[in-house]
Amino acid sequence: MLRLAPRMRRFALVLTQGAPESANALVAAAYDILWRKFAKNNARCDSGDLDILAFSEMVSLWRDHLSNTDCLEPPAVQPPSSPKAAILSLAIDDRVVIGLMVIERLNAQQTGAVLGISAQRAAQIHSRARRALDVALSANRRAEGAA
Amino acid sequence: MPDIPFVPENKLVAYADGFLPPTEMAEVEAALSRSPALAKRVARIKQTRERAAAAFDDTLTQPLAPEILKAAGGAAAPNPRPSLLWISIALAIMAVGIFIGRVSVPSTLSPNSPHLVIATSRGNYAGPELTKFLDTAESGQQMQLGSNIPAHIILTFAVRGGGACRQFEVGLEKSLMSGVACREADDWRIEVLARHDSEADSPAGTPAPEPINVMIDSMIEGAPYEAEQERAIIAARWK
C-alpha cells in the first residue's frame, strides 16, 4: 500500500491543481476508504488493481469535495510556461484523464474503470484532452517566445 | 495532389501512446509512410505526451506527509486487517529484539559476540565493531565482525535534508539481516533492521526485506553514491 503513495500523491496534485495540503489530505482520505473496504470485504490489499481502486476513490472524493465545499485551497502557482502549468490549466475532466492516461500511463480500459465509464468514452475524452493540452502547451511556448 | 489518408485523431493519439492493437498499428504506420504531414502530427503528439508525462515526476521523490504515512499504514481505519507493511514492521521490531538478544548481548554461550547494536533511550546505535565496519567498509566489500560474522555494505546514499546512510547486511543464511544506518555526529544510528525471509535460504544478494526498501525509498536523495564518491566520504571520515 505504501509503495503506491507517491503515485497517489502525484495524481492528487493533478486533481487539486497542485495544492499540496489538499493533495495530502486527499491521499490520506483515499487510504482510509481503501482500508475500510479491505476490512469490510476481507479483501487482499496487494492486488494488481490497487492503483485503479485508489485512483477511483480519489476521483470520487475530489468530486464530492468540489461540490460540497466553498473553501478550496487555492491552486499552486506554477511557472507560466511549464508543462505542469499547462496541465493544471485544463478543465477538471480533461485534467483527470491526462493524469490517468498520460502521467500514470493507464490505458483506456483502466481509465474507464477508474471513472466508471466505457473504455471508448475514456478514449474520446483523452483525445479531446490531448488537443486541449496541445493548445495550452503551444500557448506557453508562444508566451515563452514573446518573453 | 497526393492522397492524404484519413486517420482519426484518437487513433493517432493511441498510436503515439503505444495503445493500439497490432493490426491497427500496422494500418496507421502504413498511413504515416504515405503522409509526412501525418507523421509530423504524430511526432508532435509524442512530444506533447513526453513533456506532460514528466511534468509531475519531481513529486515522486518528495517526502510523504506524515498524514499519508499514517493513513497508508491503516492507522485511521477501524479495526483494519494487519497490512503487509505493519506485519513487516512488526517482524523488523522482532528482528531487532532477536538481533540484540542473539548477537549484541554477550553471553556465556558466545563470549566472542560483539555489541553490534546498542539500544539507548535515543534509539538504537551501532556498537564499536559495527561502527568501525560502517566507518570504513566500501560497498561490496565483505568484512568479519566478532567471531566470524560476515558483514558487507550494500549501498551508501545521501538523505534528504543532509547526511549519509548505509544499507548493510550482517549474518549468514537464515540469520541474514539487512539494516539501514545513518551517520549522526560520530555515531551510526540504526534506522531499521530486518531479517531476510526465513522460509528461503536467504543467501546474501537476495532482495532486502520490505521495510528496508520502504525506508530507503522514503529517505534517499538522488542516486546511491558511486564508488568514487563513497571512497571520498570514507576518507573524509563522514564529515
* Helix (H/G/I), strand (E/B), else coil: B30: helix
Q: Which of A2, A101, A130 sits opposite B45 (nearest CB)?
A: A130
Query: Which of B171, B211, B173 is closest to B191 using CA atoms?
Result: B211
Interface contact B80-A38, CB threshold 8 A: yes
Q: How far apart are CA B93 and CA B211, in angstroms?
A: 10
Size of interface A-B (CB pairs under 8 A): 124
CATH of domain A78-147: 1.10.10
pLDDT digits (tens, 9 = 90+) for B63-81: 888 888 888 876 544 443 4
The length of chain A, given as a count of residues: 147
| Chain B residues inside the 8 Å CB shell of A46 | 84
Residues 51-80 of A with CB under 8 A from B: none
Rounded to a whole number of angstroms, the distance from the CA of A79 to the nearest CA of chain B is 12
Q: How far apart are CA A45 and CA B45, in angstroms?
A: 36
Domain ranges of chain A: 1-77, 78-147
Rounded to a whole number of angstroms, the distance from the CA of B55 to the nearest CA of chain A is 5
pLDDT digits (tens, 9 = 90+) for B83-132: 444 444 444 554 554 444 344 433 333 444 556 777 666 677 788 888 88
Q: How far apart are CA B10 and CA A128, in angstroms?
A: 8
Interface contact A1-B83, CB threshold 8 A: yes
Query: Which of A65, A144, A120, A24 is closest to B19 using CA atoms?
Result: A120
Mean pLDDT, chain A, whole residue set: 85
Rounded to a whole number of angstroms, the distance from the CA of A145 to the nearest CA of chain B is 17
Q: What angle do CA B50, B52, B58 make, to 5 degrees?
A: 100
**Contacts of range B191-196, beta carbons closer than 8 Å, 24 or more positions apart:** B191/B165, B191/B215, B191/B219, B192/B92, B193/B92, B193/B95, B193/B96, B193/B99, B193/B117, B193/B124, B194/B88, B194/B91, B194/B92, B194/B95, B195/B91, B195/B92, B195/B95, B195/B98, B195/B99
Q: Do B139 and B146 touch, CB atoms closer than 8 A?
A: no
Beta bridge mates, B127: none
A37 touches chain B (CB under 8 A): no
Q: Which of A24, A32, A38 sits opposite B76 (nearest CB)?
A: A32
Alpha helices in chain B (DSSP H): 9-17, 22-34, 36-53, 66-72, 84-99, 128-136, 210-219, 227-235
Give the three cell numbers for residue B209. 526485506
* Helix (H/G/I), strand (E/B), else coil: B112: coil
Q: What are the DSSP E strand ranges found in B83-217?
A: 117-120, 123-126, 142-145, 149-158, 164-170, 177-184, 187-195
Q: Do B174 and B202 touch, CB atoms closer than 8 A?
A: yes
pLDDT tens digits, chain B, 239 residues: what are they? 456 678 888 888 888 888 888 888 999 999 999 888 889 989 988 988 898 999 998 888 888 888 888 888 765 444 434 444 444 444 455 455 444 434 443 333 344 455 677 766 667 778 888 888 899 888 877 777 776 778 888 889 888 878 899 988 887 766 777 888 999 888 898 888 777 664 444 444 456 667 777 778 878 888 888 888 888 889 888 88
